[in-house]
């Protein structure tokens, strides 16, 4: 069925569009309900069930002034949802036998074996226990946009603790390290590898940075909240691990950074993935089906099984959040990123409320993407409202 409805909330009329199968109308109603009880500006959501797209909906506006309608082809930065996408893509190398997750990183990147890093295994990077959650060299404001500069700094840096022992969310550095491994093995930059081996074969609309001018023209602006979030904490406690994770960001308001040309075009594989909810849902739908979607096999079921095996369940030190951690992917964790009632669900949230997730038992792939970023440390009520409705239907 076609969705073409309006809701007036907080003095604004929001238009809802897309398509859905009738039995999933309660999930559509949950998406609409977000605009009635939350501070939504624009968002999209999609669900695949056993390879079939059962809803693909969007609403609201691309900008804070509410002058540019969110359309079918609107893309938005989903923040750390990118970690899940890049992690899935990295597992393609493992699937092909090109990377051994139990091998040292230095096997593929010899110069990495400096200052006590010779024992860091590939799996330590994938599960955030490599001991390199921040770049200690402050470099300069805006260095975050120069991937090779960050890689060079990490190459020289010593781990903060014994690798493999302590989990600390590698906010930006996970993508830098994995990306250099990919480049050393394939000759391709990480963003190119992800496009060539994951996004393009499935015909999807998602990219890590590298937005063209045409992409930027259809991109939704992020509307971050500072008070009560990590953006405020990093400024109030400059000596914290969290604050050190942002030393290479430009010295400007975060809303300026996240909507800048630099942010949208740089290679920041852990944070600046832009795309549609339907594309993220399709990727997770593929993984939930054992690595295949629409006749395209991305990886073997055995690789999916190993990727979703729990590596550890620790309270990570960056934001003091518990995580059930898979191999480059998060596993369902009630306190931090709730992904429905099935403990086998997996995925990755993004700061501000976006999420991509799958469930191998229900064979679903789901995504919710938004531009108004919330203030909560967990994934919040907006995605949860839709996920709950989906499981009630299933």
Give the pLDDT confidence score for residue 95 in this predicted structure.
98
So what's the pLDDT on residue 273?
98
DSSP 108: T
Structural element, H or E, at residue 2: strand 2-9
User: Per-residue pLDDT for 230 more than 80?
Assistant: no
Tens of pLDDT along 105-141?
999 999 999 999 999 999 999 999 999 999 999 899 9
Report the alpha-carbon distance of residue 285 to residue 84 in Å, rounded: 13
Q: What is the pTM of this model?
A: 0.97
Share of the chain above pLDDT 90, in %: 92
Region 214-232 average pLDDT? 83
SS3 92: helix
| Strand 330-331 versus strand 346-349 pairing type | antiparallel
pLDDT at 228 over 70: no
Residue 5 has pLDDT above 80, yes or no: yes
Q: CA 275 to CA 187: how far, in whole Å?
A: 25
Domain ranges in the chain are: 2-87+197-393
How far apart are alpha carbons 10 and 39 in whole angstroms? Answer: 9
Is 124 exposed, middle or buried (CB count within 10 Å of its CB: 0-12, 13-18, 19+)?
Answer: buried
Q: What is the per-residue pLDDT for 236?
A: 59
Buried/exposed code over 221-238 (b: 16+ C-beta within 10 A; e: otherwise):
bbbbbeeebbbeebeeee
Q: Is the pLDDT of residue 240 over 90?
A: no
Residue 307: pLDDT over 90: yes
Q: Residue 274 corresponds to which tokens in the numbers above?
A: 């832009």
Is the pLDDT confidence value at 178 over 70?
yes
272 and 208 in contact (C-beta within 8 Å)?
yes
> What is d(CA 93, CA 276) in angstroms, rounded to the nearest whole number?
25
Q: What is the per-residue pLDDT across 34-85, written as a single tens digit (0 to 9) for each?
A: 999 999 999 999 999 999 999 999 999 999 999 999 999 999 999 999 999 9
User: Is residue 229 pLDDT above 60, yes or no?
Assistant: no
Give tens-digit pLDDT for 12-47.
999 999 999 999 999 999 999 999 999 999 999 999
Are 322 and 284 a contacting pair, CB within 8 Å? no
Report H helices in 54-104.
81-95
Cβ–Cβ < 8 Å for 186, 193: yes
* pLDDT (mean) for 347-354: 96
Share of the chain above pLDDT 70, in %: 97
pLDDT at residue 225 in the model? 82
Architecture, CATH, for domain 2-87+197-393: 3-Layer(aba) Sandwich (3.40)
| CA–CA separation, 367 and 310 (whole Å) | 22
HEC profile of 126-172? HCCCCCCCCCCCCCCCCHHHCHHHHHHHHHHCCCCCCCCCCCCCCCC
Contact between 364 and 334 under an 8 Å Cβ cutoff? The reply is: no
Per-residue confidence (pLDDT) for residue 377, from 0 to 100: 79
Radius of gyration of the chain (CA): 20
Query: pLDDT tens digits, residue range 275-296?
Result: 999 999 999 999 999 999 999 9
- DSSP 8-state code for residue 308: T
Close Cβ partners of 341 (under 8 Å, ≥ 6 residues apart):
391
What local confidence, expressed as pLDDT, does residue 238 receive? 78
The answer on pLDDT for 90 being more than 60 is yes
Q: For all residues of the chain together, what is the average pLDDT?
A: 96
- The arithmetic mean of pLDDT across residues 343-350, rounded, is 97
pLDDT of 235 over the 80 cut:
no
* Pairwise CA distance, residues 206 & 188, whole Å: 18
């Amino acid at each position: 069925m076609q969705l073409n409805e309006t809701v007036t909330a907080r003095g604004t009329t929001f238009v809802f569009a897309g398509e859905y199968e009738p039995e999933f109308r309660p999930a559509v109603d949950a998406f609409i309900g977000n605009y009635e009880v939350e501070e939504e500006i624009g968002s999209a959501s999609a669900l695949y069930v056993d390879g079939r797209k059962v809803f693909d909906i969007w609403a609201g506006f691309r900008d804070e002034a509410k002058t540019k309608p969110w359309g079918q082809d609107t893309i938005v930065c989903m923040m750390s949802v990118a970690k899940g996408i890049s992690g899935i893509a990295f597992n393609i190398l493992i699937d092909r036998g090109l990377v051994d997750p139990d091998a040292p990183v230095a096997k593929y990147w010899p110069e990495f074996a400096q200052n006590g890093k010779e024992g860091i295994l590939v799996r330590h990077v994938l599960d955030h226990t490599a001991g390199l959650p921040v770049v200690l060299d402050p470099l300069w404001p805006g260095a975050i946009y120069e991937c090779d500069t960050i890689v060079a700094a990490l190459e020289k840096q010593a781990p903060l603790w014994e690798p493999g022992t302590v989990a600390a969310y590698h906010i930006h550095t996970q993508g830098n390290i994995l990306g250099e491994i990919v480049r050393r093995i394939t000759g391709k930059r990480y963003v190119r590898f992800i496009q060539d081996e994951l996004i393009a074969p499935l015909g999807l609309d998602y990219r890590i940075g590298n937005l063209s001018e045409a992409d930027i023209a259809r991109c939704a602006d992020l509307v971050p909240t500072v008070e009560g979030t990590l953006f405020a904490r990093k400024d109030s406690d400059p000596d914290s691990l969290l604050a050190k994770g942002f030393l290479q960001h430009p010295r400007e308001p975060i809303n300026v950074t996240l909507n800048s040309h630099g942010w949208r075009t740089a290679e920041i594989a852990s944070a600046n993935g832009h795309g549609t909810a339907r594309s993220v849902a399709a990727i997770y739908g593929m993984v939930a089906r054992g690595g295949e979607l629409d006749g395209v096999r991305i990886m073997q079921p055995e690789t999916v099984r190993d990727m979703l095996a729990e590596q550890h369940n620790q309270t990570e030190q960056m934001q003091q959040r518990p995580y059930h951690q898979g191999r480059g992917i998060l596993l369902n964790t009630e306190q931090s990123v709730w992904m429905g009632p099935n403990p086998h669900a997996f995925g990755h949230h993004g700061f501000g409320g976006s999420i991509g997730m799958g469930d191998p038992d229900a064979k679903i792939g789901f995504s919710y993407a938004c531009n108004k970023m919330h203030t909560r440390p967990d994934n919040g009520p907006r995605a949860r409202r839709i996920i709950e409705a989906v499981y009630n239907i299933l």
